[in-house]
Amino acid sequence: MGKQALRLNLDQIIKSLEEVQRDFDQINSLLTMKREYISDEIIQNLVAGYHYLDHLVAQEIKIFPDNIEHFMEMNHIILCGNDPAVRFEYNVHLQETKTRFYTLIQPIKKWYKKNHESSTFKIAAEMYVGVLSQPQLFIEGNHRTGSLIASYFLLMRGEPPFVLNKKNAVAYFEPSTQIKLSDKRSIKGKLRLPKYQKAFKEFLEQQTRNTDWSYTR
């Protein structure tokens, strides 16, 4: 039997994200490709995404094969939060995202069906790379949504989630940029992505050893 699914320490997650926001200029100065400033709205929506993730884990909801809409909802929360008025305003964008999602999720579902017995960190890393590499699963918000999706698989198998903090930010953003620029449909992308998948798997394993504050049993 695997490890028991874990619950999130949301107060600690908020604290970690706010620390990244305060030190963002310094973090950004170290990046090869500069990132968008982490605004209060981005943090608010990301925290709402972690709340939703915590709900999924608490209810032990299995995403594959029949509940994939929860991944799409994560992206909607990341972009618009839970405010119905905001979602109405961006309804066209959300509908376009839905169409894109249900097309591009199919190869990811197929991979998971064949590899669901792989190690926890391999699955989490492959999911993140699958979301972020080209063509990206969502129109916007793939980094943040991808990290939640990876964290879902970690938590459901009893491992801590990935949470951005000021110590791991550069180590997270730098390879993520390379993953984002890689096309999994091309020969070049197919040759490069296994290296990134392995590196991100090792990164997640390292985070597990260093971020036990980010969850509670």
Cis upstream peptide for 160 (omega within 30°):
no
4-21 pLDDT, tens per residue?
777 899 999 999 999 999
Main-chain phi, psi angles of 216, to 5 degrees: -130, 150
Domain spans, the chain? 7-212
Residue 1 confidence (pLDDT): 43
Q: Which residues pair with 183 in a beta bridge?
A: 134
Confidence of residue 190 (pLDDT cuts 50, 70, 90): confident
* Site of tokens 């997640």: 204
Here the tokens at position 22 are 């305060």
Strands (DSSP E) along the chain, which ranges? 7-8, 215-216
139-150 pLDDT, tens per residue?
999 999 999 999
Regarding the domain delimited by 7-212, which CATH topology (the fold level of the hierarchy) does it fall under? Fic-like fold (1.10.3290)
3-state secondary structure of 183: strand
HSE at residue 209, side-chain half, CA atoms within 13 A, is: 4
The whole-model pTM stands at 0.94
